Structure 1
Amino acid sequence: MRSEELDSRAQSLYEHLAELRKRLINCVLILLVATCVCYYFSEQIFNFVRAPIAPYLPGGGLIYTGPMDKFVAHLKLSVVCAILVSCPFWLYQVWKFVAPGLYQKEKSYTFGFILSGTILFFLGTMFSYYIALPMAFEFLMSFGGTTDKPMISIEAYMGFFTQMCLMFGVAFELPLIIVILGMIGLVSQKFLRQNRRYAVMILAIVSAIITPPDLLSMSLMLVPMVLLYEISVIIVGIFEKKRTASINERE
């Protein structure tokens, strides 16, 4: 009997790994297609990406020192843009992997999961582009007086820009991640409330790690993440009440 139980667990683990492999391959294919499309518009995208720092550059443009630098920058930007525009499609793959662990009624939330995840990811990148980056550049570029003039390379700027946008996009998915954990029973509203102080401490550490090493960037990341955490606590409580009501109806 024990041998049969172990075989069953091993088979279940194999099925989960096979499903994970399938979803990862689908995500890679989606990103490849989206990257090709974005690369076709890379010049227009690059002009848009350059806009937040352009006022602080002497000629309005970035510099590069190697013949491949600009090409590589456009390629990297195409990948980042592909992650953004293909968000609904790879979120669907994530949902398909998570859905088997949910109740039948909760599996019907596919559209809501994809829509909310896409909106949150876009809100995160927009917050970074329109609020966090301008404030960071205003502080960093004016620090230490106006005698020194910035000469920012494409490579340095792209690294800074993509890190900020992607990290804010992922950070804004926090409510979605916590709600899913609540739906599969790994966390509860009571648990989230009791461990709020530890959550804030963890969020502060994460903010310090994933943002550039300055207090302003960290604060711009931490404040919305704490607010999103509090929103998550409320939403998890709503789903718990719905689940309890559904169980009572069945009984």
Structure 2
Amino acid sequence: MNVEYSKKKPLSLQEHFVELRIRILRSFLSLIPFFVICWFFSDDLLNILRQPLKPFLKSTGGGLIFTAPLDQFMAHLQISFFASVFLSSPYWLAQLWCFISPGLYKKEKKLFIFFWFMGLVLFLLGTCFAYFVVFPIMFSLLMNFGSGVDQPFITIKNYLSFITRFIFILGLVFEMPLILVFLCRGGMLSSGFLKKYRRQAILILSILSAFITPPDILSLFLLLLPLIGLYELSIWLTGFFEVKRA
């Protein structure tokens, strides 16, 4: 039985590059209206990001400080850009899909959509876990550490850099089950392999957690426990797909 990639005439290499350039350009242009909208709401967006730390900024009335004239402007610029990338993601992901889907079989298209959807869900779970669970506990520990004589004067530049990087990293870390399932489906790993080297994997996850979190044991375990849970979920998912494939 012949299985065709697409009903359309195959494009030449040059035509593929032209199409890719057009779709990349469309994706970048889609950022502009979202950036303008986010710019008008940048104060609200900054307030949302400031909330986990706000209770501990009594000396500044709950606000962050800036030490250079451009710091506050750049903070609004930065948060507007990140928000516009996130809000426009359905469009530029659709552009990506339109570019690669003609070269996929029907079964591969379904698999790609599944991985794309699960990747988005896991990334959002990671960011929500960072914001609603990790940050409140972590800031409570760090801000209340010591004798209480010193007062926090945290700059908006340093805080935004820290919190956006942490959220992004944790979102990526939560993609672990998806990556492991993908490797197992490609024949590079198996559920038996993941079970056999569970202890070594937990050690690696512990080291990773120590690098990501501040140097306190509670923050480390706060991140390590869900990572172990995600690893166990990966074992179950890979086993499920292996049985289904058999």
- Normalising by structure 2, we get a TM-score of 0.77
Query: 2:45 maps to what in 1?
Result: 45
1:180 aligns with 2:179: no
Structure 2 residue identity aligned to 1:55: P
Instruction: Map residues 66-77 of structure 1 onto 2, 5 A cutoff.
Output: 66-77=68-79
Question: Do the aligned residues in 2 keep the contact of 1:192 with 1:233 (CA within 8 Å)?
Answer: yes
Per-residue CA deviations over 1:173-194 (Å, capped at 9, x if unaligned) read 1111111112222211111111
Quick one: distance in 2 between partners of 1:30 and 1:230? 41
RMSD: 3.4
Instruction: Map residues 125-140 of structure 1 onto 2, 5 A cutoff.
Output: 125-140=127-142
- Aligned-partner SS, 2:228: helix
Quick one: distance in 1 between partners of 2:101 and 2:238? 17
How many pairs does the alignment contain?
229
- Aligned-partner SS, 2:187: coil
Equivalent pairs: percent with the same residue? 44
Structure 2: runs of 5 or more not aligned:
1-12
Quick one: distance in 1 between partners of 2:90 and 2:178? 13
C-alpha displacement of 1:222: 1.6
Question: Do the aligned residues in 2 keep the contact of 1:87 with 1:118 (CA within 8 Å)?
Answer: no
Aligned match for 1:157, one of 156, 159, 166: 159
Per-residue CA deviations over 1:12-31 (Å, capped at 9, x if unaligned) read xx9xxx8xx87x95797388
- Mark the CA change 1:189 to 1:41 in structure 2 (over 3 Å): closer, same or farther: same
Structure 2 residue identity aligned to 1:144: G
Question: Do the aligned residues in 1 keep the contact of 2:210 with 2:220 (CA within 8 Å)?
Answer: yes
1:243 aligns with 2:245: yes
Quick one: distance in 1 between partners of 2:197 and 2:100? 25
- Mark the CA change 1:83 to 1:125 in structure 2 (over 3 Å): closer, same or farther: farther
- Mark the CA change 1:205 to 1:36 in structure 2 (over 3 Å): closer, same or farther: farther
- Mark the CA change 1:32 to 1:161 in structure 2 (over 3 Å): closer, same or farther: same
By percentage of residues, which structure has more helix? 1
C-alpha displacement of 1:151: 0.9
Question: Do the aligned residues in 2 keep the contact of 1:101 with 1:184 (CA within 8 Å)?
Answer: no
Query: 1:4 maps to what in 2?
Result: none
Query: 1:119 maps to what in 2?
Result: 121
- Normalising by structure 1, we get a TM-score of 0.76
Structure 2 residue identity aligned to 1:41: F
Question: Do the aligned residues in 1 keep the contact of 2:31 with 2:85 (CA within 8 Å)?
Answer: no
C-alpha displacement of 1:213: 3.7
Structure 1 residue identity aligned to 2:186: I
Q: Which moved more, 1:235-244 or 1:201-210?
A: 201-210
Question: Do the aligned residues in 2 keep the contact of 1:102 with 1:183 (CA within 8 Å)?
Answer: no
C-alpha displacement of 1:210: 2.8
Query: 2:7 maps to what in 1?
Result: none
